[in-house]
Structures are given as C-alpha cells and as structure tokens.
C-alpha cells in the first residue's frame, strides 16, 4: 500500500500541554490559599530503572508546583515495615497522593501493600476499590476516578487523534492483560464505546486479530513484535512497550519503521506514551487532592 505516512503522535508535546494546565490549577490553589498538593513516592531498594522513574516523577511534580518527595527504604524492608510507612502517609494531611513504586522485592506482599493505601490517595489506581470502580463505571471519568496512569495517558492521546466521541464503534485491540496497562486500558476503551478485544500470550492468530483493529494498543514487552503487515491501513497505534535492546537502545513493541507506512497515526518510542504516563500521575495527584480537600478555587 503506497499510502501517506502516519501522523506521529507527539507524546512529549501532549504531556507538556497537560502539565501546563495542571501547573495553572496548582497556582489557582495557591492563590486561593489552599494547602499545597503533596505526592509521596515510596521506593524500595536500588533497582536502577525504578530509581530513574521515581526521580522523574518527583522532579515533574516539583516543576508544576506539587510538593513531590521520595520515601526511600532499604531492599530488606519487610511487609510489616512497609505497611507502617503506608499507614503514616495515609494519616499525613500534607500527603494527598501515595505511589509505591513496583516491582517490590520478593519478601514483600505487594498485594497487601497496594490494598493498604488509602483509596483516595491511590494515584496509581491499583487499589482493589479503584479497580472495581473503574470496571463498574459505564463512563469512567478521570475527574472523579483514580485510573492507572499509563492507560489514562493513552486515552488522552487517543482523544487528541479521534476527538470527542470519535472512538465510538471502533474495534480496539489491546495486546497484553496486565493490571497495570492491558486490563484498565480495555475498561477505558469500553467506556469510550469501542468494541474491545484483549489479547495475550495464548491468543491465536495475533497478526490476523491486529489486522482487524481500528485502534491497536501494544503493551506486551516484546521488542518489535507487531509487524507493519499486521496493521489495518489507517489504524491508530499506541505503542506502550519499552524494551532495551543491545545496539538499538529503547524500542517499542511495534516495528515503528514498517508501521509508520501503514498506520494512520502512531506513537514513537521513546517520546510517545512514556511522557504521558508521568503527566497522568500528576493529573491523578490533583484528582486525589480534590477528593480530599474539595473543589479547587
Ligand atoms: P506484563 O509483563 O505485566 O504483561 C505483558 C502482557 O503481554 C501479558 O498479558 C502477556 O500475556 C502478554 N504477552 C507477552 N508476550 C506476548 C506475545 N508474544 N503475544 C501476545 N501477548 C503477549 O507487562 P506490563 O503490562 O507491565 O508492560 C508491558 C510493556 O509496557 C513493557 O514493555 C513495559 O516496560 C511497558 N510499560 C510502559 C509504560 C510507559 O509508561 N510507557 C508503563 C508500564 C509498562 P500473558 O498474560 O498470557 O502472560
């Protein structure tokens, strides 16, 4: 197919725009004399990628006027010790958002930790109550719900491409069924009136399924799994994957060079979904703030 090249969705620019709007919300809070929104990012051990992620999160928070700080704990921390830290943050009125960076070391019961976070402060949206609210809502809204950040960022990018109501009736295929990306992504797409198929490692004829997708979200963690000839011409492709490949650096789950000639719109890696994830965390921090402090000025 000799069609035009896809629109390259600029996640950096979209994230910068979102951050700007959030920064002005924070300034409005300040002007009204409200308490400063506070985000605490709990990091256990010294996993290098996790360290980079948490530093970015607190830095971006500071840039938009949120009081973002790290809570650093040793790799040997126990479930009981971590539960105690979460309990203190739950009770701290200057902390409006709590994020416990995953993965946690094997000796820690991660499910117990996530369930111990106050649901109103759960800016990652991983608490079972927030998961349930997302799946029980026919029109999930980030104004009132704490939704996992990566799918939330993906929906923001899709809204930019398709406009309000523009996803209605589209066939969306989500590759991956994790609690962090695949499952909440499917719930949000369903809420936007897509017909949703969720695929995983046992799915048969993945290529054929992808070819029927108007919207394809790839979140599998397999470098360049999705080939150009897996795509329906004109499809919108969001590549969530972040894979470090020797000699290539960071690559996504989609073969970008091939896909860009077939898709209608596509996110690059890096510079696509990644920046939106962090900006969406800030959005969730302000949603959590509103849930606790009340309406903003
Ligand atoms: P998980 O490893 O938790 O889940 C991967 C999913 O992909 C599983 O459901 C798995 O299926 C499925 N899968 C694996 N291999 C295949 C295959 N060959 N064909 C079809 N499905 C397959 O990963 P996450 O959801 O946490 O993350 C996915 C990717 O997104 C990773 O690269 C991660 O680094 C990236 N990521 C990026 C973020 C960002 O901000 N851009 C944020 C979060 C993640 P099964 O369930 O059957 O095992």
pLDDT band at 148 (very low <50, low <70, confident <90, very high): very high
Atom number of ligand 1 nearest to Cα 225: 18
Contact 176, 200 (CB under 8 A): yes
Gap from CA of 210 to ligand 1 centroid (Å): 16
- For residue 273 and ligand 1, the question of a CB distance below 6 A is answered with yes
In the chain, where the domains are located:
33-119, 148-274
Ligand 1 centroid – CA 180 distance (Å):
9
Q: Does the beta carbon of 181 sit less than 6 angstroms from any atom of ligand 1?
A: yes
Spot the catalytic one: 57, 121, 183, 232: 57
The CATH number fitting domain 148-274, selected from 3.40.50.720, 3.40.50.1010, 3.20.20.140, 2.30.30.700 = 3.40.50.720
Q: Is 101 a catalytic residue?
A: yes
Tell me how long the chain is.
297
- Is 201 near ligand 1, meaning CB less than 6 Å away? yes
Q: Are 126 and 116 in contact (CB under 8 A)?
A: no
> How much of the chain, in percent, has pLDDT values that exceed 90?
95
Return the pLDDT at 3: 61
pLDDT at res. 75: 97
297 pLDDT higher than 70: no
Report pLDDT for 4: 80
Which residue CA neighbors atom 40 of ligand 1 most closely? 274
pLDDT above 60: residue 1: no
pLDDT exceeds cutoff 80 at 150? yes
Dump pLDDT digits (tens) for 162-206: 999 999 999 999 999 999 999 999 999 999 999 999 999 999 999
Q: Which of 101, 122, 253, 255 is labelled catalytic?
A: 101
Please tell me if the domain spanning 33-119 has the same topology as the one spanning 148-274: yes
Mean pLDDT, the chain, integer = 96
User: 83: CA distance to ligand 1 center in Å?
Assistant: 28
Q: What is the mean pLDDT of residues 29-45?
A: 96
pLDDT at 264 over 70: yes
If one residue of 176, 177, 225, 253 were mutated to test the ligand 1 pocket, choosing by the most ligand atoms within 8 A of its CB, it would be: 176
The best mutation among 178, 185, 205, 217 to test binding of ligand 1, ranked by most ligand atoms within 8 Å of the C-beta, falls on 178
Residue 120 has pLDDT above 50, yes or no: yes
| pLDDT (0 to 100) of residue 296 | 47
Atom of ligand 1 nearest to the CA of 202: 47
| Gap from CA of 221 to ligand 1 centroid (Å) | 5
pTM strictly above 0.75: yes
How far does residue 219's CA lie from ligand 1's centre (Å)? 4
pLDDT tens for 272-285 read 999 999 999 999 99
The question of whether 124 is a catalytic residue gets the answer: yes
Q: Which residue has the tokens 């896809």?
A: 6
Residue 294: is its pLDDT beyond 90?
no
Tell which wins on pLDDT, 68 or 143.
Answer: 68
Separation CA 229–CA 254 (nearest Å): 11
- Compute φ and ψ for 37, nearest 5 degrees: -60, 135
Is the CATH code 1.10.10.10 the one for domain 33-119?
A: no
Residue 219 has pLDDT above 70, yes or no: yes
Q: Is the CB of 180 under 6 A from ligand 1?
A: yes
């Amino acid at each position: 197919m000799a069609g035009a090249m896809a629109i390259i969705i600029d996640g950096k620019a979209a994230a910068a725009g979102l951050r700007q709007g959030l920064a002005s919300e924070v300034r409005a809070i300040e002007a009204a004399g409200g308490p400063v929104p506070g985000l605490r990012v709990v990091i256990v051990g010294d996993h290098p990628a996790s360290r980079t992620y948490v530093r970015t999160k607190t830095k971006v928070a500071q840039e938009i006027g949120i009081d973002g700080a790290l809570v650093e704990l040793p790799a040997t921390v126990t479930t009981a010790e971590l539960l105690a830290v979460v309990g203190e943050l739950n009770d701290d009125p200057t902390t409006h958002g709590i994020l416990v960076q995953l993965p946690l070391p094997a000796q820690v019961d991660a499910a117990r930790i996530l369930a111990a976070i106050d649901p109103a402060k759960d800016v990652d949206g991983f608490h079972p109550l927030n998961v349930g609210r997302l799946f029980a809502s026919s029109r999930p809204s980030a104004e009132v719900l704490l939704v996992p950040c990566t799918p939330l960022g993906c929906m923001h990018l899709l809204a930019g491409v398709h406009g309000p109501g523009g996803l209605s009736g589209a066939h969306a295929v989500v590759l991956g069924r994790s609690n962090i990306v695949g499952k909440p992504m499917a719930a949000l797409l369903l809420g936007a009136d897509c017909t949703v198929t969720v695929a995983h490692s046992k799915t048969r004829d993945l290529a054929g399924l992808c070819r029927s997708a108007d919207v394809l979200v790839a979140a599998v963690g397999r470098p360049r799994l999705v080939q150009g000839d897996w795509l329906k011409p004109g499809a919108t492709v969001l590549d969530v994957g972040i894979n470090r490949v020797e000699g290539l650096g960071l690559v996504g789950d989609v073969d970008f060079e091939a896909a860009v000639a077939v898709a209608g719109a596509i996110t690059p890696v890096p510079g696509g979904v990644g920046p939106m994830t962090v900006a969406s965390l800030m959005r969730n921090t302000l949603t959590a703030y509103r849930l606790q402090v009340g309406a903003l000025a």
